[in-house]
């Protein structure tokens, strides 16, 4: 059994494409079949190498590995030419020289009459030998097929005109190449967005003219943005790699994508293995799915919480490089990640949280400093400094005891010590449990930062 993903490289891999790829991949994996990747790059004007790279990067970041391909349609022009010639020779296709102007006015006339714009077959019997090549679509009866998502679909051939299968420069068009490839690559399941559902009857006519068996078709309902319009750039990051950049884990994004139009009871969290086991085309919803950024963030946080430290460290590598954090200049990264795991919604948040362990800063958040570093906190910070300085074993436990001691000796609540301490350590107040953080930041850096806080107070209130 084989399924395929066949993107056109005219942009990055977006959320909708990734969802299509995931469903086709799951269906192949579930049946121990093969997953084929095919780059549909015949539109030479709109296809770019950068888009090919972006698609391959997106697929590989998501872990949607292919067993065959990537195939490139531009490498198969000869095969398409042969098929077009075969159809011409068999009288199943013909050349058409109708000018753009003629087609335009034909369209306008039909539309003015309230009819569907379609080619009138003017060149069908002219036996021309140049111009575009059109397929002789059957003129009567119906095309009927059973879509695995949408159910039975029936279209009258009268609604379909003679489709262009090759442009006047000889290059083939999408509807021809997709049929030839799905046949040649022995694809059993064509799983794609329902924006292609109108092409399917035309493609079925081509299969029949060529005497080829039909694959099964499954057309996936579209994805809408929160406002009910089709998901687009306007709704924020729609490129898969932008989600990587924003700190999402690929497994969280896959989990999010699988739920866009597919469900299994009310289960929300699926490991890849579970998705493969439970996924079924027959459980795909018929209606469109809505994209919900908050749910994606929730899932991402769940995945971060439950991920192994090892996985987080490896996924963080890209972010750490982006932010030029030198993780050799500070504590063991595994411990730092462990301390941040519970409180980070994204890897970007986590990376920002890592900075204070590896980078010194030279100023404090001004608003917080005004609040936390006041003349009456001077004594507290000085006491903290000297007691911490006295510690031989700079452990979280000992640090915790020092804070407790100061609270009882100076008769102040925990916040009076904890809050200025947290700000001194972090520069911006974002830090988890301060004793653990302080141990990881290390004695030398902690003392230096407490000194900076004291300097701030002396300068501001002298």
What distance in Å separates the CA atoms of residue 149 and residue 24, rounded to the nearest whole number? 13
Q: Could you say which of 34, 196, 355, 449 contacts ligand GLU (CB under 6 A)? A: 196
Q: Which CB atom, from 4 or from 136, has the smaller least distance to ligand GLU? A: 4
- DSSP letters, 380-419, are HHHHHHHHHHH-SS--HHHHHHHHHHHHHHHT--HHHHHH
Work out how close the CB of 196 gets to ligand GLU at its nearest, in angstroms, rounded to a whole number: 5
Helix count and strand count (H, E) for the chain: 19, 12
Residue count of the chain, please give it: 462
Based on the shown chain and the rule CB under 6 A, indicate whether residue 457 belongs to the binding site for ligand GLU. no
Q: CB-hemisphere CA count at 13 Å for 460?
A: 18
Phi/psi region, residue 377 (left: phi>0; alpha: psi -120 to 50; beta: rest), is: alpha
Based on the shown chain and the rule CB under 6 A, indicate whether residue 253 belongs to the binding site for ligand GLU. no
Based on the shown chain and the rule CB under 6 A, indicate whether residue 187 belongs to the binding site for ligand GLU. no
Work out how close the CB of 127 gets to ligand GLU at its nearest, in angstroms, rounded to a whole number: 32
Work out how close the CB of 181 gets to ligand GLU at its nearest, in angstroms, rounded to a whole number: 9
Based on the shown chain and the rule CB under 6 A, indicate whether residue 7 belongs to the binding site for ligand GLU. yes
What distance in Å separates the CA atoms of residue 185 and residue 333, rounded to the nearest whole number? 47
144-to-118, 205, 394 alpha-carbon distances in Å: 21, 10, 76
Based on the shown chain and the rule CB under 6 A, indicate whether residue 201 belongs to the binding site for ligand GLU. no
- Of residues 27-46, those binding ligand GLU (CB under 6 A): 40
Instruction: Return the SS3 of 71.
Output: strand
Q: Which CB atom, from 8 or from 398, has the smaller least distance to ligand GLU? A: 8
Number of residues lying near ligand GLU (CB under 6 A) = 7
- DSSP letters, 267-317, are -----HHHHHHH--GGGB-SS-EE--HHHHHHHHHHHHHHS-HHHHHHHHH
Which x/- pattern over 146-185 shows residues binding ligand GLU (rule: CB under 6 A)? --------------------------------x-------
Which x/- pattern over 323-362 shows residues binding ligand GLU (rule: CB under 6 A)? ----------------------------------------
Residue 133: beta bridge partners?
95, 166
Based on the shown chain and the rule CB under 6 A, indicate whether residue 219 belongs to the binding site for ligand GLU. no
Q: Choose the binding region for ligand GLU from 5-13, 25-33, 246-254, 276-284 (rule: CB under 6 A).
A: 5-13
Q: Which CB atom, from 200 or from 352, has the smaller least distance to ligand GLU? A: 200
Based on the shown chain and the rule CB under 6 A, indicate whether residue 192 belongs to the binding site for ligand GLU. yes
Based on the shown chain and the rule CB under 6 A, indicate whether residue 251 belongs to the binding site for ligand GLU. no
What distance in Å separates the CA atoms of residue 16 and residue 64, rounded to the nearest whole number? 15
Among 326, 322, 324, 353, residue whose Cα is nearest residue 337: 353
Task: Please report, as ranges, the residues that interact with ligand GLU according to CB under 6 A.
Answer: 6-8, 40, 178, 192, 196
């Amino acid at each position: 059994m084989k399924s395929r993903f066949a993107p056109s490289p005219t942009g990055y891999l977006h959320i909708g494409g990734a969802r299509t790829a995931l469903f086709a991949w799951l269906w192949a994996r579930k049946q121990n079949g093969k997953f084929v990747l095919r780059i549909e790059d015949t539109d030479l004007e709109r296809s770019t190498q950068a888009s090919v790279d972006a698609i391959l990067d997106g697929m590989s970041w998501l872990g949607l590995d292919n067993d065959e391909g990537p195939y490139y349609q531009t490498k198969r022009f000869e095969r398409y030419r042969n098929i077009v010639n075969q159809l011409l020779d068999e009288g199943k296709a013909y050349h058409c020289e109708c000018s753009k102007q003629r087609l335009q006015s034909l369209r306008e006339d039909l539309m003015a009459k309230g009819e569907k714009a379609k080619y009138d077959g003017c060149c069908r019997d002219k036996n021309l030998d140049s111009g575009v090549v059109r397929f002789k679509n059957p003129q009567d009866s119906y095309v009927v097929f059973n879509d695995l998502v949408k159910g039975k679909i029936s279209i009258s051939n009268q609604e379909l005109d003679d489709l262009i299968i090759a442009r006047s420069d000889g290059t083939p068009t999408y509807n021809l190449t997709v049929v030839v490839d799905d046949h040649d690559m022995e694809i059993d399941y064509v799983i794609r967005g329902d924006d292609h559902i109108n092409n399917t009857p035309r493609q079925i006519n081509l299969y029949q003219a060529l005497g080829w068996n039909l694959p099964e078709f499954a057309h996936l309902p579209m994805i809408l943005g929160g406002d009910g319009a089709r998901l687009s750039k306007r709704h924020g990051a729609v490129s898969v790699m932008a989600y990587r950049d924003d700190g999402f884990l690929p497994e969280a994004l896959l989990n999010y994508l699988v739920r866009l139009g597919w469900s299994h009871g009310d289960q929300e969290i699926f490991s890849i293995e579970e998705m493969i086991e439970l996924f079924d085309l027959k459980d795909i919803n018929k209606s469109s799915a809505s994209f919900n950024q908050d749910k994606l963030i929730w899932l991402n946080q769940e995945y971060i919480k439950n991920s192994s430290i090892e996985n987080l460290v490896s996924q963080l590598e890209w972010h750490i490089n982006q932010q030029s954090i030198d993780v050799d200049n500070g504590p063991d990264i595994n411990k730092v990640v462990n301390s941040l795991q519970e409180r980070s919604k994204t890897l970007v948040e986590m990376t920002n949280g890592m900075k204070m362990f590896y980078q010194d800063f030279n100023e404090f958040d001004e608003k917080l400093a005004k609040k936390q570093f006041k003349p009456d906190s001077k004594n507290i910070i000085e006491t903290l400094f000297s007691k911490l300085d006295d510690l031989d074993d700079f452990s979280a436990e000992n640090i915790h005891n020092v804070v407790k001691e100061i609270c009882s000796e100076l008769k102040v609540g925990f916040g009076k010590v904890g809050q200025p301490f947290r700000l001194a350590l972090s520069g911006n107040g974002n830090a988890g449990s301060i004793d653990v953080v302080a141990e990881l930041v290390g004695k030398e850096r902690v003392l230096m930062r407490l000194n900076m806080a004291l300097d701030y107070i002396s300068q501001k209130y002298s």
